[in-house]
Chains A and B, each alone.
Chain A
């Protein structure tokens, strides 16, 4: 049946900010959905608070609401836009929960659910309903019981026996879940689960620890045609959240009978749950000893695994699911990859490995043991012809500096401990275990990873021991090593170890080329080569034998440009960079240039097969990038849009003669090299905080003393403020030098005078070598010293003088032209005592590019791409000036500021990483961002906080606590709050100050002073908001505990004076009854 004609306007709900458990995959699915619905001629209305998404580009949906995803706002949009149907299955748990809440409140009466109906969603999501449904169709389940109180929980524990799994109902990515091995641990976890579950319900369950885990990606249409798109097997046995597990496709240790049983069960489950149209995933667990198969859970929506399955097979699940949702059946849809019908089951002739990416290094207090609550922030996927090759490529893709199974240090006890403990590097410890002589039986006993996987690792380690200098002249062995996925770097390391002869990666490369061993490129074609692939989606492999190459890609005779992506999501490098890469691809397409995308992150829009003309799914390291360049011979390479990952390849790529488009490597180097850059700054009469470069600890101390404390210290060449710290005395500095960085001549440490209480500005600009376009000047809400990625920021600036802004613009121009930037650049300035200081220049796309593009209506990355291809800046701007944005003043091109204010706010993972402390610092910790947009600052700030889940209450009681230096402002803040109807409470000293100013404020005991104290008030729900400016260094037990309660209870929380002032402005704005009336981006820009 063709598309439904009874619906006209469809509302798509996005997933909001990137958080642990919800990353770019929902931009990928949402973007596919919007594109598909538009192509079918529907009117599409979109809500998503995340400006860094492709789907919120104003040209995609008809009406794009960058607004907080709340039932009230969605309801307003539905009324305003005359929405007929809502598609809630593309925006992760956020969208599903919002739609379900609305359904339960009767807010969606008369509005149709597409994709999955509310009954099905409830059956799939509610653990009790799911369990009943499973029992009904005869599925085997773990023994389990529900508990709504501690008493019930204790009773359940007694019946089930340890170890026990606790799962909180209706939470995201396994929030409030965990494994308990003893009663004390159990009590803690049960309480946390009860607290986190919005319905105070936990499931207490028989542990399946050590069982095998599988996932099936299923699609069903309204005619009841069902297909499995992909089976996925977890490398890590049960007990680790599947998002945190290494996973492999296809399933490798099932016989056909076991596989078909799982397939049949998946279909039965979808039918019983009632998922009529679209994609779902079903998770199973199998007892390795008996084959007993248990259903774990199902997601009645497109999920992270669907994105993985799509990228692993080439089958576009989100697109197909969208078509099914509006009335098509599977046999009416064409598989774009082969031109055959989409109603088949993809098969693959390679092995896909996904490895999760963690960032525990940024949260040293957080528990790094993996469990049933997801902790990873991203993932890398790799494709190889064998599991071995694919696994080693995945490690190279992870951006952790691994070149394969790197050797691990520590004594045997430690190695065994780390093989037993699920952790981010467990696979490396397993390899190390083999290296030190453990047998596969011993390792299996410790970790229960399936023996088949262990055999593969054992064989890899056995092979690496044979890699010696002679391999460089032995084609057969060398080729075999490459088919095992050993990188050139890894081979060089093994030669060094085994033969004690120093060989570089380049030496190995040279020997390999001499023997004619090249990486070859195979298509990801959904059909294991049964049909010809129409879309070139490629991965590399080393062939087991030298054969005449059949796979040479026929390239059209036109200019082609390669875009290097950003790799796995992690803190500091996320969706914003993928957004820029995708925009580059779009811009190149518009110029008629063939686009080659290169990336290894399966969640992204960039790795969608129809984003670019050619897609390489490959590790972003020198070896693999270089081979593609040799194979494709692109006319240009864009390294500036994928963040630091590709940028750091600019030099080595230039050295092999690759053509870097736009800003050349030497300019990148100049901006990143502290000494060269200081010379540049001095030459152009600019100002920088006084600074020095230390290559030893003592040198750092002496520089710091000369600059006077506080100083800002950091390693050179970092992104996201990795290991960046403000230090206040020499003890702290020494400690930092000892613990945080390994300093050397190659890796010096930068020491800057820290500008205390300075205002920080971010500027994005584009330069073509002759003229400069100021994308925007943004003012940070938080003062300098908090990483720009973690600071809220306002576009345009809130309280800077016209003169100062003009000066900043002029300086930006001087820097851009002086450096010779061609393309995008980002500058951070600090305003300290009314003087402008240059903090940092990055001659690349920045994290704020998507935000600025959305807020001003000028797609910076697209404009920059045209400029990098040699077009004049003015022409490029004109090409994209759909909203009459560009104006000129005093020799500078800049955007016309319309009468709206856009606020960007960061979103943090503290609630997912237990133990992590909610403190902002120069080291970036946020995973995502939201945008609040309106006609005034207060409203935009209020919206941004609401979208970030930090909802400012318009009544109730605010707890105030200031560090000593802030106490002079206590009365001002108190008055602002009190004037807006907020009651106040503070510890004795602060309360007195406030009372003295004639403002009512109750006093409360500190935790250390006795009971009842502030902890009790917060636990009892008496506190609705907290402002606490005491930072890390002065943090005593009280502050840490308060932050923990705030996190657990979801109390809105502000940590800086400037945020407190913004909150007061927000309260002021929120007095207006319809302050949060939704307005589409198109109206602001138009």
Chain B
């Protein structure tokens, strides 16, 4: 089956479909990770996007239960050079293609991903439409033009949990292939789910936190009260999809938490929301950071950490007026980590939970305990 794609710069391409049969509009980005396509595809932060994998062979290891980063896949589509329906891995349970079909995600293969990557690199992230049903270029163009841009869509509702729940397991032990035992609880926290990756919750739990997951439309006043009552010790703000500037309601909530001096830790979107809520608006990067090989300097130790990254927006440089930079990206010197001078908030742009990616930044989770004085 064929799939037709049209990009907002006028590029029209034909490729092979290996996922859902439908028509979808989203923003095209590229990810340079060599491993972990399943974790990327199931990362809710990719909601509203088409992910181009620069790794040319995808599908090789199939999909399995443990490598899911959320309950499903929220991206619009996956673009790969070569898709392999037949996989080989002792943990493989199903093929990537059937997973995508199940999840309603478009699979695009037999396309020059390097061409697309260079285009995004040079022209920036852009909107596109893909369809297995419509081949006509003009029609696709019309669909694209009549669809909202990614900045205009709030995907948080779609990916956040509807119900409050307790996260119960720790990290996955890839030596013995089982979940690690959960340690003794040292602190109780609320994690706001803007599209949280499971491994963040696993890491928080493994670090000794009892994690209560709240939906994006949580009641900030209630939360503040619970913290002041000592019922909770801190709040974690998760990663998530889309432009943080449009999340007005969430910003208002975060402002309340800041004002109430609630100990807070944010990752990715959480990091961005903290900046915006402090009065420092984020800006959009040309094509963002998506991959597992970005060098980040830890200012305190002087060490370089190779990190997992997935973001299109960044906090502004002048945030140093109110926060100390703890981490910087060595590729482009953008800010990666902040410690707010107020003393109760810290956050990172990259993904210390990895999954996929290198795990050397996992210590950042432990710092939350110190921040909460636990």
Residues of A within 8 A of B (CB): 140, 223-225, 227, 231, 250-261, 263-264, 288-291, 293, 329-331, 340-341, 343-351, 385-387, 450-452, 455, 522, 527-532, 543-545, 547, 550
Task: Spot the interface stretch: B105-113, B183-191, B235-243, B338-346.
Answer: B105-113
For the complex formed, measure the closest distance between the CB of B316 and the CB atoms of chain A, giving whole angstroms: 22
B118 touches A455 (CB 8 A): no
Known: A349-B54, A386-B56. A545 touches B15 (CB 8 A): yes
By a CB distance below 8 angstroms, the chain B residues around A348 are 34
Give Cα A372 to B60, complex, Å: 28
Give Cα A83 to B99, complex, Å: 63
Known: A255-B61, A348-B34, A545-B111. A343 touches B118 (CB 8 A): no
By a CB distance below 8 angstroms, the chain A residues around B101 are none
CB contact between B115 and one of A259, A387, A547 (< 8 Å): that residue: A547
Known: A260-B174, A386-B56, A530-B117. A340 touches B110 (CB 8 A): no
CB contact between A255 and one of B30, B35, B304 (< 8 Å): that residue: B35
Q: Give the one of A231, A255, A343, A528 with max B CB within 10 A.
A: A255
Known: A528-B32, A550-B115. A545 touches B172 (CB 8 A): no
Give Cα A602 to B33, complex, Å: 25
A256 touches B54 (CB 8 A): no
By a CB distance below 8 angstroms, the chain A residues around B292 are 345, 347
A330 closest partner in B (C-beta): B304
A450 closest partner in B (C-beta): B88
**With A256-B33, A288-B90, A344-B295 already in contact, 16 other A-B pairs whose C-beta atoms are closer than 8 Å:** A250-B34, A250-B55, A255-B35, A255-B36, A256-B356, A258-B89, A259-B35, A260-B35, A260-B358, A346-B293, A347-B32, A386-B56, A386-B81, A455-B84, A527-B293, A544-B111
Could you name 19 residue pairs across A and B whose Cβ atoms are closer than 8 Å?
Answer: A225-B303, A231-B34, A255-B89, A259-B34, A260-B354, A264-B359, A291-B91, A344-B330, A349-B113, A349-B114, A349-B117, A385-B81, A386-B82, A529-B54, A530-B32, A530-B117, A543-B115, A544-B110, A545-B13
For the complex formed, measure the closest distance between the CB of B172 and the CB atoms of chain A, giving whole angstroms: 7
Give Cα A172 to B208, complex, Å: 49
A444 closest partner in B (C-beta): B88
By a CB distance below 8 angstroms, the chain B residues around A345 are 292-293, 306, 358
By a CB distance below 8 angstroms, the chain B residues around A452 are 60, 84, 86-88
Give Cα A550 to B116, complex, Å: 10
Whether B138 sits at the interface, judged by CB under 8 Å, is no
A341 closest partner in B (C-beta): B330
A255 touches B293 (CB 8 A): no
Give Cα A774 to B64, complex, Å: 70
Give Cα A330 to B90, complex, Å: 36
B289 closest partner in A (C-beta): A530
For the complex formed, measure the closest distance between the CB of A136 and the CB atoms of chain B, giving whole angstroms: 16
Known: A344-B330, A452-B87. A255 touches B115 (CB 8 A): no
B32 touches A547 (CB 8 A): no
Known: A344-B293, A344-B295. A349 touches B56 (CB 8 A): yes
Known: A253-B60, A253-B88, A291-B90. A331 touches B297 (CB 8 A): yes
A331 touches B14 (CB 8 A): no
Whether B294 sits at the interface, judged by CB under 8 Å, is yes
A529 touches B118 (CB 8 A): yes
For the complex formed, measure the closest distance between the CB of A462 and the CB atoms of chain B, giving whole angstroms: 12
By a CB distance below 8 angstroms, the chain B residues around A531 are 121, 331
Whether B67 sits at the interface, judged by CB under 8 Å, is yes
Give Cα A227 to B221, complex, Å: 45
A387 touches B57 (CB 8 A): yes
CB contact between B90 and one of A261, A289, A341, A346 (< 8 Å): that residue: A289
Give Cα A451 to B62, complex, Å: 13
Whether B302 sits at the interface, judged by CB under 8 Å, is yes
CB contact between B89 and one of A140, A253, A340, A343 (< 8 Å): that residue: A253
For the complex formed, measure the closest distance between the CB of B41 and the CB atoms of chain A, giving whole angstroms: 12
Give Cα A263 to B356, complex, Å: 12
Give Cα A545 to B16, complex, Å: 11
A256 touches B39 (CB 8 A): yes
- Quick one: which of B148-178 are within 8 Å of A by CB? 172, 174-175, 177
A348 closest partner in B (C-beta): B34
By a CB distance below 8 angstroms, the chain B residues around A346 are 293
Give Cα A189 to B164, complex, Å: 66
B359 touches A260 (CB 8 A): yes
Whether B38 sits at the interface, judged by CB under 8 Å, is yes
By a CB distance below 8 angstroms, the chain A residues around B61 are 253-255
Flag B61-78 by CB within 8 Å of A: 1 or 0 each: 100101100000000000
B301 closest partner in A (C-beta): A223
- Quick one: which of B98-135 are within 8 Å of A by CB? 110-115, 117-119, 121
Whether B291 sits at the interface, judged by CB under 8 Å, is yes
By a CB distance below 8 angstroms, the chain B residues around A231 are 34
By a CB distance below 8 angstroms, the chain B residues around A331 are 295, 297, 304, 330
Whether B337 sits at the interface, judged by CB under 8 Å, is no
Whether B253 sits at the interface, judged by CB under 8 Å, is no
Known: A223-B303, A224-B303, A255-B89. A347 touches B33 (CB 8 A): yes
By a CB distance below 8 angstroms, the chain A residues around B304 are 223, 225, 329-331, 343
Q: Give the one of A225, A340, A346 with max B CB within 10 A.
A: A225
By a CB distance below 8 angstroms, the chain B residues around A254 are 35, 61, 89
Flag B346-373 by CB within 8 Å of A: 1 or 0 each: 0000000011111100000000000000
B287 closest partner in A (C-beta): A530
Known: A452-B88, A545-B15. A343 touches B295 (CB 8 A): yes
For the complex formed, measure the closest distance between the CB of A332 and the CB atoms of chain B, giving whole angstroms: 10
9 cross-chain pairs, A with B, having the tightest CB-CB distances, nearest first = A256-B36, A256-B356, A528-B54, A452-B88, A345-B293, A257-B174, A256-B35, A349-B54, A261-B174
B56 touches A252 (CB 8 A): no
B85 closest partner in A (C-beta): A455
Give Cα A258 to B113, complex, Å: 25
B305 closest partner in A (C-beta): A225
Give Cα A459 to B109, complex, Å: 17
By a CB distance below 8 angstroms, the chain A residues around B55 are 250, 347, 349, 528
Give Cα A56 to B306, complex, Å: 38
Give Cα A864 to B91, complex, Å: 60
Known: A349-B55, A528-B32. A341 touches B174 (CB 8 A): no
A385 closest partner in B (C-beta): B56
A255 touches B64 (CB 8 A): yes
Give Cα A547 to B111, complex, Å: 10
B61 closest partner in A (C-beta): A255
CB contact between A455 and one of B66, B86, B91, B172 (< 8 Å): that residue: B86
By a CB distance below 8 angstroms, the chain A residues around B88 are 253, 450-452, 455
A227 touches B306 (CB 8 A): yes
Flag B32-62 by CB within 8 Å of A: 1 or 0 each: 1111101100000000000000111100110
Known: A290-B90, A293-B175, A345-B306. A530 touches B121 (CB 8 A): yes
For the complex formed, measure the closest distance between the CB of B298 and the CB atoms of chain A, giving whole angstroms: 10
CB contact between B112 and one of A263, A290, A451, A543 (< 8 Å): that residue: A543
Give Cα A289 to B113, complex, Å: 33
By a CB distance below 8 angstroms, the chain A residues around B90 are 288-291
A259 closest partner in B (C-beta): B35
B115 closest partner in A (C-beta): A547
For the complex formed, measure the closest distance between the CB of B113 and the CB atoms of chain A, giving whole angstroms: 7
Q: Give the one of A348, A387, A528 with max B CB within 10 A.
A: A528
A291 touches B177 (CB 8 A): yes
A256 touches B357 (CB 8 A): yes
By a CB distance below 8 angstroms, the chain A residues around B114 are 349, 385, 522, 528-529
Flag B221-257 by CB within 8 Å of A: 1 or 0 each: 0000000000000000000000000000000000000
A345 closest partner in B (C-beta): B293
Q: Give the one of B91, B110, B330 with max A CB within 10 A.
A: B330
A384 closest partner in B (C-beta): B56
Give Cα A227 to B360, complex, Å: 11
B57 touches A252 (CB 8 A): yes
By a CB distance below 8 angstroms, the chain B residues around A289 are 90
A257 touches B66 (CB 8 A): yes
